[in-house]
Amino acid sequence: MKYALITGGSRGIGRAIAIKLAKQGYAVVINYLNNDEAAKHTLEQIVAEGGQAELLRFDVGQPEAIEQAVEEWQQRHPDEYIDVLVNNAGIRRDNLMVFMQNEEWNSVLQTSLNAFFHLTRRLLKDMLTHRHGRIVNISSVSGLKGMAGQVNYSAAKAALIGATKALAQEVAARKVTVNAVAPGFIESDMTGDLDQGELKKLVPMKRFGKAEEVAALVAFLASDEAAYITGETIAITGGL
């Protein structure tokens, strides 16, 4: 059985990825932080459709919590390892930089960037030992072009792209691929407070993307068909 861990997997893009990977035959490990109801609903849907899933609650922004959660999972699965890691968890704390508070900067980088480092490092050894692994980092169009009011978010997501390129070179010989996906405006909880009417005018396709469309791309990058793709950042933005 191959296991896939999706951080922030209870809602939005993470939820769609979890459901898609379960349909691809992975036993899905759904990480979440607070929303027990949403996490349970995602798990129940996967199971109802014939898939396998389990919940793993921990704060990706806390290195100690990551260590404890992974250790407990490995104790329950002594003969298994996480074959696919999707670093999806992220938060927004938008503000103009001149007004941005330390907490707004630190919390975004802690969740969107530092979590990638701590969790990926913890799971990487097993992938290298087994000579197979897929790491997919969910970046953002903000990390590609920058967005006003998102200096913190753009910095974290751009750094994630750089880390993707560097790590891909370190682990390619062991058949571990590392890629990034950079969504644009996607219908999800994270974009619920945005003015879709105005923002759609910026998108050549004149619509927001769907979480399922992002999930399809992630599932491809996690598959054997994508074995020769690594170090890449693929934008999914409707032409933005």
pLDDT tens for 135-166 read 999 999 999 999 999 999 999 999 999 999 99
- The closest of 237, 215, 89, 59 to 157, measured between CA atoms, is 89
pLDDT for residue 202: 85
Q: What is the CA radius of gyration of the chain?
A: 17
Catalytic annotation, pick one of 3, 26, 153, 228:
153
Does this model's pTM top 0.85? yes
Evaluate if residue 66 carries a pLDDT over 70.
Answer: yes
- Compute the mean pLDDT over every residue in the chain, rounded to the nearest whole number: 94
The model's pLDDT over 90-114, given as tens digits with 9 standing for 90+, comes to 999 999 999 999 999 999 999 999 9
Evaluate if residue 133 carries a pLDDT over 80.
Answer: yes
- d(Cα 1, Cα 239) in Å, to the nearest integer? 37
Q: Are strands 133-138 and 233-236 parallel, antiparallel or unpaired?
A: unpaired
Q: Which domains does the chain have, with CATH numbers?
A: 3-236 (3.40.50.720)
Residue 178 in tokens? 């590392």
Over range 49-70, report the average pLDDT.
96
pLDDT for residue 192: 62
pLDDT for residue 203: 85
pLDDT for residue 236: 96
E-assigned strands of 11-51? 27-32
pLDDT for residue 240: 83
State the amino acid at position 197 in one-letter form.
G
pLDDT for residue 193: 67
pLDDT for residue 194: 67
Evaluate if residue 9 carries a pLDDT over 90.
Answer: yes
The model's pLDDT over 14-38, given as tens digits with 9 standing for 90+, comes to 999 999 999 999 999 999 999 999 9
Active site residue 32: no
DSSP string, 72-122: HHHHH-TT--EEEEEE-------B-GGG--HHHHHHHHIIIIIHHHHHHHH
E-assigned strands of the chain? 3-6, 27-32, 52-57, 82-87, 133-138, 176-183, 233-236
Q: Where does the pLDDT of residue 200 fall: very low under 50, low under 70, confident under 90, or very high at 90 and above?
A: confident
- The closest of 31, 23, 29 to 57, measured between CA atoms, is 31
The model's pLDDT over 118-131, given as tens digits with 9 standing for 90+, comes to 999 999 999 999 99
Q: How many percent of the chain have pLDDT more than 90?
A: 87
- d(Cα 104, Cα 146) in Å, to the nearest integer? 17
Q: In Å, how far from its chain's centre is CA 198?
A: 27
